[in-house]
Every structure is written in structure tokens, then in C-alpha cells.
Amino acid sequence: MLMKCAAYTGDVEPCNGILVNAIISYDGSKFFGMQKQPNKKSVQGEIESALKKLNINSSITHAGRTDKGVHALNQVISFKIEAFWKDLEKLKNSLNKTLLPNIFIKK
């Protein structure tokens, strides 16, 4: 699913770019949980690192958290991208090349 950022209404921060929602799965045995933690390998940290490799400087928002060692099959995340990433399938494939085998962007 692809959504443009909402205009600033005073209730939310203004945003630039496009907001992308994604569904991911991951093997939690390799991570200290979903949420980024200092000096610990996390799912959020790995995804944000993969985004940076594609010149996307965005933090991710996740719909829920998992603890160390917990797996996920359909975790929902979102992040902002620049408009030049029009081909979301190419973006997904590029991220999966970096994230596999422990994290998989499903759609």
C-alpha cells in the first residue's frame, strides 16, 4: 500500500516524500527484538541500515514490538521515501537483497 503524506493540520508533523506501508516477516532468533536498542542487533536497526544503503534516510514505525528471539510473520511497518522511488517492487527487491535471510519484506 502506498500513501502520500498528509498535509500539515496542526495535529501531525508536516512530512516530505511518500509514506510506504510494508508487511515483513523475520526470524527473531538473530535479534534483540524489534525496537532499536543501543549496541544491540534489532529488526528496526537492520531495516533502517538497509534503507540508508539505498539513500533513504528514514526511521521506521512499527505496529508492534517483539522481544529477543520472537519471530514475526506479518509485522506492519511504515517509512518515508523520496518520490524518485516510483517502482515499489524494485525497492522491495533491493531491500530484500540486503535483509535476507533473517528479514523478508513480503509486500
Q: Is 67 a catalytic residue?
A: yes
| C-alpha distances in Å from residue 11, one per residue of 7, 39, 73, 79 | 10, 34, 32, 19
Which of 11, 27, 67, 87 is catalytic? The answer is 67
Report the SS3 class of residue 106. Answer: coil
- The CA-based dihedral angle spanning residues 73, 60, 28, 99, taken in that order and rounded to the nearest 10 degrees: 90
Backbone angles phi, psi at 51, to 5 degrees: -60, -40
For residue 22, the surrounding DSSP H or E stretch is strand 18-26
Q: Catalytic positions, please? A: 67
